[in-house]
Structure 1
Amino acid sequence: MNPYQLYLVTDENLTLERLKYVVREAVKGGVTMVQIREKHHDVRAFIERASAIKTLLQGSGVPLIINDRVDVALAVDADGVHLGQSDMPARLARQLIGPNKLLGLSIESHQQLASVHDLPIDYIGLSAIFATPTKTDTRHHWGIDGLTSALQTTSLPIVAIGGININNLKDIVATGVHGIALVSAICLADDPRAATEQIKALLQYNHSQRVPA
């Protein structure tokens, strides 16, 4: 199974109870990976939320990824870490988490993309494909052409993130990208499970319709 196919990134504005509900329902709907993103909570709150989600995911086969914070990932024994460009260097993070955990890195420019080949990472988060209200500091939008070019540039799995929704999903999938990451489309849905099931069905249908190169 491709663990990157439907990658849920959580919304830090959710209460803990809502967060658990969203993740629980999204797993039922078919998400394949969950990243806990907490930009503004203190470390104690981050650990509490991450621990709650780790407990919830036990036995599901869905990996738990921690955004930015290697210390939190180690504290809860998460399945991996996703780093931004201003976070701990990837080499140091790999030394700390060991060889068997997943390590992802956000890539926001062609220059950054060109430098990933020597890094000990497992996948790339290509950000942002389109403009998105959940990430307002993005300087570059890759678009479909940029995503296609990135896929031809690296052999690492790529997860597309930023502004992806039902309306542009078909175009994203048509590039052959390994996975898509979603925040609002699931976290803000009235019925997270139904939203996830709809997205998963579109992913699987569009993958089946792609003509092999």
Structure 2
Amino acid sequence: MKSFDLSLYLVTDRDLSLGRPLEFIVEEAVKGGVTMVQLREKNCSSKEFYELGIRLKKLLKPHNVALIINDRLDIALAIDADGLHIGQSDLPWDVARRLLGKDKILGLSVETIEQAEESNHLDIDYIGISPVFATPTKTDTFKPFGLEGVKAVSSIASHPSVAIGGVNLENAAQIMSHGANGIAVVSAISSVENPKLAAELLKKEIKKKNI
């Protein structure tokens, strides 16, 4: 699977899901219009990560929504996920690509304009502009890009981009209008009472692309 749609990208976080099962959050979000899902787990065993991945893959397959694994190449390979997302301090992109193969999706976070420029020469499929705004879910990052930073990266990037960090209903349309190909959200879907409705509303904002 190589075709993908970055427009509304859900990054999971069980700690922000108000005690509800991850499968519930993901299924409702997909019903509301989420186009890609990244399984991100920082504090669970490999076995639990694997089992979660298997369940989400089964859930997403009928919807033709790509499942991306955050950081853990071994998990991505073990469950035959659609792809992997890595950061600047994770496994080198070329190693990830070699082991994943050409038919899998590989995403890379960029935290500076310089990293965005460098990414143009890499065999990856998309970049994550991170973070757009300051956010408690991403604390180990560089200075936020802001809207002008999104515009600057989008103007030089040869790969499609998805913007993450402080993205919500109030700024989704602006981010898209500044050149991003999609928005990635965590709490804007996972931490609300109705994830399906939240996804539907975000989808409407994405389509506006108004400054």
Shorter-chain TM-score tier: over 0.9
Over 3 Å counting, the alpha-carbon distance change for 1:101 and 1:2 in structure 2 is closer
Deviation at 1:182, TM superposition (A): 0.3
Q: Which residue of 1 aligns with 2:198?
A: 195
1:12 CA displacement: 3.5
Please state how far the C-alpha of 1:114 moved relative to its aligned partner.
2.1
Q: What is the match of residue 6 of structure 1?
A: 8
Shift of 1:30: 0.5
**C-alpha deviations, 1:122-174, integer Å up to 9, x for none?**
00000000000111112210001111000111121010000011111221121
**Identical aligned residues as a percent:** 48
State the SS of the aligned residue for 2:63.
coil
Q: Distance in 1 between matches of 2:120 and 2:205?
A: 32
Give 1:1-213 correspondences, 5 Å limit.
3-13=5-15, 14=17, 18-204=21-207, 206-207=208-209
In structure 1, distance between residues paired with 2:150 and 2:101 = 30
Deviation at 1:202, TM superposition (A): 1.6
Relative distance call for 1:2 and 1:50 in structure 2 (3 A) is closer
In the aligned structure 2, how far is the partner of 1:15 from the partner of 1:97? 34
SS at match of 1:118: coil
How far apart, CA to CA, are the structure 2 residues paired with 1:48 and 1:203?
32
Residues matched between the structures, number: 208
**Contact kept in structure 2, 1:16 and 1:49, CA below 8 Å:** no
- Name the SS of the counterpart of 2:128 in structure 1: strand
- Could you tell me how far apart the structure 1 residues matched to 2:20 and 2:177 are? 36
Aligned counterparts of 2:171 and 2:46: Cα–Cα separation in 1: 36
- 1:52-95 CA-to-partner distances (Å, cap 9, x unmatched) read 10111121110000000110000110000000111111111011
Query: What CA RMSD, in Å, does the superposition of the two structures yield over aligned residues?
Result: 1.7
| TM-score w.r.t. length of structure 1 | 0.93
The separation in 1 between residues aligned to 2:174 and 2:129, in whole angstroms, is 15
CA deviations on 1:86-114 (whole Å, 9 max, x unpaired) are: 11111110110100000000001122112
Gaps of 5+ in 2: none
Q: Secondary structure at the match of 2:108?
A: strand
User: Partners of 1:195 and 1:16 in 2: how far apart?
Assistant: 17
Task: Mark the runs of 5 or more structure 1 residues left unpaired by the alignment.
Answer: none
Q: Distance in 1 between matches of 2:120 and 2:18?
A: 38
